[in-house]
Amino acid sequence: MSQPIDWAALAARPTKLSIKALWQAQLERWYAHPGLYRWSLRNPLTRWWTRRRTRQLFDLMAGFVHSQVLLACVRLDLFHVLHHAPANLAELSRRTQLAPSVLQRLLLSAVALGLLETRGQDRYGLGPLGVPLAQHEGIAQMIEHNHLLYQDMQDPLQFLANAWHGGMAQYWPYAHGKPSASPQAEELDKFTRYSALMAASQGFVLQEILSSYLFGEHRCVLDVGAGRGRFVSELALHAPHLQFKMFDLPPVLALADENLRAKGLRERVQLHPGSFLDDPLPAGADLITLVRVAHDHPDAVVRQLLQKVHDALPPGGTFLLAEPMAHADPAEGAGDASADAYFHFYLLAMGDGRLRTPQELMAMMKEAGFMHVERVPNAMPIHAQILLGRKNKCLP
């Protein structure tokens, strides 16, 4: 089992060097040996490995350039423009109003990163990584949104010393303590903006949940932190026998109300505006879901929320939690641990939540009283991992 990653919260412990730690120290000495690098490049059996390590380090150094190339392509709308319609440099230059000599740098960089491809002699089309950008609006919106984070992190040490002084902290009105009970126009605008972004970016997470968990046994689902109701709307089509309840802050549920009416789903959904910091959750659902909510909040709030979820369920009721989780030990978790770095920093810039490992969240669920806590395997854990808990059927 991997260790809890909130080491900051653990008391200092005397260090005992394990065999693994001694082996890691030996590896570090080998890596630092100047002869090893030259020897490994000469040896055909080790060359690929040294090249790969060098390449990984180079990519880390160049990461900012890569994300700026991506952002420039999004802002110039190249992924839509080139979808099914390859174009040459002169055509793209006219359209983007950029001089061919500089535009070409961008196009060649995008080709190098797999976002675009050259087609024939002088035309550019979408590369394998560019196709999803033409198809999923949510990715482009997240790329634009990440610009706020990267601005906040421009000086990483200043950011670490004072993470909440930037655009990201301003963007999320609830992530620093209690949101205002009667928000004014400017604040209301923030709820509208983040709810639109969440709805646009939720598609991949929903796909993971809908293709990994069977909803047939349930009757009524309460989605907590439900946003504008994209999950509920898609689940309503996926499982037509279900009734729904949604719980979120009042300005967000006002947006959900409009959205559900427009989709003709309002009759199947009860809206419960409130704050889980102050209010109990409504009873009556046999499945409660929490999608991309826990990681926004500190441990004390998550513990309180899980307790409220447990209290609101009937005996035998089910709780499903889905969100990006840490791969503290990549050898153990499915997927690529490098995504952890993004989420650690995103959540720090946003407020006082944090990325947790599945094991940490499962321990918190057990603490709240859930039995049979388990992981639901899913195909693409980078979007979200899924945990399930049951409330005991036996009376205390």
Ligand X SMILES: C[S@@+](CC[C@H](N)C(=O)[O-])C[C@H]1O[C@@H](n2cnc3c(N)ncnc32)[C@H](O)[C@@H]1O
Q: In the complex, which residues of this chain contact ligand X (CB under 6 A)? A: 174, 198, 202, 205, 225-227, 248-249, 252, 275-277, 291-293, 296
- Smallest gap from residue 166 Cβ to ligand X (A): 18
Residue nearest to ligand X (CB): 225
Cβ nearer to ligand X, comparing 130 with 324: 324
In angstroms, rounded to a whole number, what is the distance separating the alpha carbons of residues 342 and 146?
10
CB of 300 to ligand X, least distance (A): 13
> Whose Cβ is closer to ligand X: residue 273's or residue 284's?
273
In the complex, least distance from residue 346 CB atom to ligand X, rounded to whole angstroms: 11
d(CA 329, CA 83): 39
Whole-angstrom Cα distance, residue 146 to residue 360?
Answer: 27
Amino acid type, 348:
L
Nearer to ligand X, 171 or 174 (CB): 174
Query: Which alpha helices (DSSP H) does 44-136 contain, by range?
Result: 47-75, 78-82, 89-96, 100-112, 131-135
* DSSP-derived 3-state class of residue 374: strand
Q: 252, 227 in Cβ contact below 8 A? A: yes
Q: What is the DSSP letter of 180?
A: P
Closest distance between ligand X and the C-beta of residue 140, in Å? 17
The burial of 232, by beta-carbon neighbours within 10 Å (0-12 exposed, 13-18 middle, 19 or more buried), is given as buried
Q: Which is nearer to ligand X, 134 or 322 (CB)?
A: 322
CA distance 169 to 148: 10
Smallest distance from ligand X to CB 229, Å: 9
Give the shortest CB-392-to-ligand X separation in angstroms: 26
Which candidate, 287, 283, 281, places its Cα nearest to that of 241?
287
Assigned token pair, 379: 């195909």
Cβ proximity to ligand X: between 317 and 353 the closer is 353
Q: What is the DSSP letter of 331?
A: T
Q: What are phi and psi of 62, to 5 degrees?
A: -90, 0
When the beta carbons of 117 and 223 are compared against ligand X, the nearer one is 223
**Element (DSSP H or E) covering residue 318:** strand 318-323
Q: What's the closest the beta carbon of residue 372 comes to ligand X, in angstroms?
A: 24
Closest CA to 277 of 294, 295, 301: 301
**What whole-number distance in Å separates Cα of residue 136 and Cα of residue 241?**
29
**Shortest distance, position 251 Cβ to ligand X, whole Å:** 8
Counting runs of H as helices and runs of E as strands, what totals does the chain give? Answer: 17, 10
Sheet holding 123-126, edge to edge: 87-88, 123-126, 116-119
The least distance separating ligand X from the CB of residue 68, rounded to whole angstroms, comes to 26
The CA distances from residue 100 to 123, 130, 230, 313, in Å, are 13, 21, 42, 62
CB-CB contact of 273 with 249 (8 Å) = yes
CB of 162 to ligand X, least distance (A): 23
92 vs 306, which CB is nearer to ligand X? 306
Q: How far apart are CA 245 and CA 222, in angstroms?
A: 4
Task: Sort strands 385-391 and 370-376 into parallel, antiparallel or unpaired.
Answer: antiparallel
